[in-house]
Each structure stands twice: as C-alpha cells, then as structure tokens.
Amino acid sequence: MSQWLFIVLSGVLSFVSMPLIILFCKKFSLYDYQNARKIHSGNIPRLGGVGIFFSFMISASIFLTTDKITNIHRILPLIIAAAIIFVFAVLDDLLTLPAIIKLIVQLIAVSIVVFNGFRFRQIFGWVLPLPVSIILTFCWILGVINAYNLIDGLDGLCGSFSISAIITLGILYTLTGNEEATLCYILAASILGFLCFNWPPAKLFMGDAGSQFLGFMISVFPLFDSSNVFEYNKLLIMIVITAFPVFDTIAAIWRRIRDKRPIMSPDRSHLHHKLLNMGYSKYTALYLLCFLQFLLCGSVIISYFLGSGRGMALLLESTTFIVLFFSFVHYTNRAVIKKNQKEAADTLEALNTANLEEINGGTEETEKKE
C-alpha cells in the first residue's frame, strides 16, 4: 500500500506541474518550432519532460529513502546518469547544442551506468565475455536514447510507447520479485500525468528533455539482475518492447546513409510520416501504433509464462511480425509516392497540352481575322 502512495504521488505531481510548465513556456516563448520532421502547427510548449523528470525523481527519492528493502546506493549511479542526460537535454531544448556535445554527454552518462555493473550479462544462456557485454550495453543504451528522441514526432506517440514499455518491465519485475518494479510504476505514473496534456490535440510536448530521459530509463531499467527466465531472453524482450522506436531509427540511419546525408539530419520518412502519407489521420496512425505496441507488450508478458525456450520462440515471432509490418508500410508508402508522382506528372502534362492548344487556337483565330 505504501508503494502505491508513491506511485499516486508521482502521477499527481506530474499532472499538476504540466499547466505550470505551459504557462512558463508561454511567458518566455519556449515553443517547439517546426522543422523538416515535425508535423504539428502552431506554438506548442516543449518542456513537458521537466515535469516527467521531477515528478519521478521526487517520488522515487522519497520511496528509496523510506524503503528498507531497496538499496539506494545500488541505484544511485543510475539516478546520477539520468540527471546528466536530463540537464543537457534541457539545455539542448533551450539552446540547441551541437550533436558532438550531446554524444559526449550521453557517453559519460552511459559510462557511469555500465561501469557500475548495469549491463547485459547473457544472451539465451550464453554468458557474455566482459568486453562484449560492455560494448553491447553501450550500443544498446545510446541507441535507445536516440531512438525515443527520433520517434517523438506525433502527439502522444513517444509517451504511449514509453509508458507501455515501462509498465511491461514493471510487470516482469513484479513476477520475478524485484523491488525495482515500484520504480517502473512510479515512472509510468509520471508519464501518464504528461499524456493527459500530450494526447492529440497536444497542449504540451515533452521535448528532448523528456524523450532522451525516457529513452535512457527504458534502456537501463532492464539491466537489474532478475530471474533466470527473464535473464535468458532479456535482450530479445527489450528488442520487442522497443521495436517501433528502434527499428524506425535503424531504417532512418540506413535511409540517410543510402542518400548520402548526415545521419542526424531530419526528414519526413519516419514510420508515422509514412502512415500519414498512406492516408491515415493523426488519430488513426496513433491508435494503430499503440494497439500494435500493446500486442507486443502482451506477447512479452506471455513469453515469461512459457519459459525460456518457448518464450524465445514467441519473442522471435513477434520480432518477425514487426519486420513484416515495417516492410509492408515501406513498400506501400513507396507505391503511394509513385502513384502521386505519376498523377502529378499526368496533371502537368494535361495542363501543358491545354495551354498549347489554347495558344494554337489563339494563333489560328488571329490568322483568320487578318
């Protein structure tokens, strides 16, 4: 019961803080401006991540200092690293930091986590050598941080992906008897308070402060030691839970390398952009992706009850489904683009023909008068 009090506290603090953040952003004109990958219009405040961060940190800190079971010293490196990510992400929201500065800060934060024992230790029962474990965890955390940052392009999308992933981890930790489950639920409550203001039409965006902080927390929360079943499939479980942001980021990197553009350059070819181009509205695209995300999270929970081997098979099937879904959207979007280009070319040709006929008709009429 006392744990639920901290969860409720986090949600209330988050919900109450959001109107104050909106007023603050409006007073100092701290809006999310449009660029090549943004699809919103109007002036939308962009510091919702501040409310998510502080509501979680306040509630989690009180919980950790009053709970006699959870070891706060074990979790302290994670809290410090999360704070570093958050502070520089806020500065990026306000000042637009160079990409190299953001990468250096992320590397520092990841180093704090990894070299304090938070890392993947096995894959399908195979114990990873220390160098492989460190490199894999580094790439995992950096990738997920930036994946959730890139997917934050549609009202309610990043928050929905984040809260579903965090709640799924919380359920898994509850099933395995981990005290860290409460921290997951506290963070989920803080996201829920934000989503009340971010659900379309959004009154507030989380900004990089929110998306990078959530990406970091989602990437490091599964790195606590847990039961054998969870440990056996942990990496595959996290790939399924974070599939939409991670696969979308991989596709974006490949797309920019192929087109010989900078990897960090924005575009309008992310998954939600493609769905909008295919004719989905913002609402239907959001609901479709949320529904599929919930199905994936459900498959992860079911996989735990199936055990290591059969659970791995279900997780592989879920991963295959995501690959097929991305492929379907990619080729359907390509067909729509080609169709639109053909229609535009046909329209232009028809206009040119009409203009030419009008010119020729005018010339013949002039000749008759003469």
Q: Which of 52-56, 109-113, 253-257 has the lowest mean pLDDT?
A: 253-257
What pLDDT sits at residue 42? 65
pLDDT at 37 over 60: no
The candidate with the shortest Cα–Cα distance to 156, out of 17, 44, 304, 59, is: 44
Q: Confidence band (pLDDT; 50, 70, 90) for 363? A: low
pLDDT at 38 over 80: no
pLDDT at 354 over 90: no
Helical H runs in the chain? 2-27, 48-66, 72-95, 99-114, 130-150, 157-176, 181-198, 207-220, 228-241, 243-258, 271-277, 282-306, 308-369
Per-residue pLDDT of 309-323, as tens digits, reads: 999 999 999 999 999
- Category of 224 on φ-ψ map: left (φ > 0), alpha (ψ -120 to 50) or beta: beta
The candidate with the shortest Cα–Cα distance to 6, out of 196, 186, 213, 131, is: 186
User: If you average pLDDT over every residue of the chain, what do you get?
Assistant: 90
Neighbours of 117 (CB within 10 A): 12
d(CA 220, CA 223): 5
Retrieve residue 281's tokens: 């509205």
Q: Confidence band (pLDDT; 50, 70, 90) for 360? A: low
Span 248-255, average pLDDT: 92
Select the more confidently predicted residue: 359 or 214.
Answer: 214
Residues 240, 10 contacting (CB under 8 angstroms): no
Per-residue pLDDT of 49-61, as tens digits, reads: 999 999 999 999 9
Span 318-338, average pLDDT: 94
What pLDDT sits at residue 83? 97
Per-residue pLDDT of 277-313, as tens digits, reads: 999 999 999 999 999 999 999 999 999 999 999 999 9
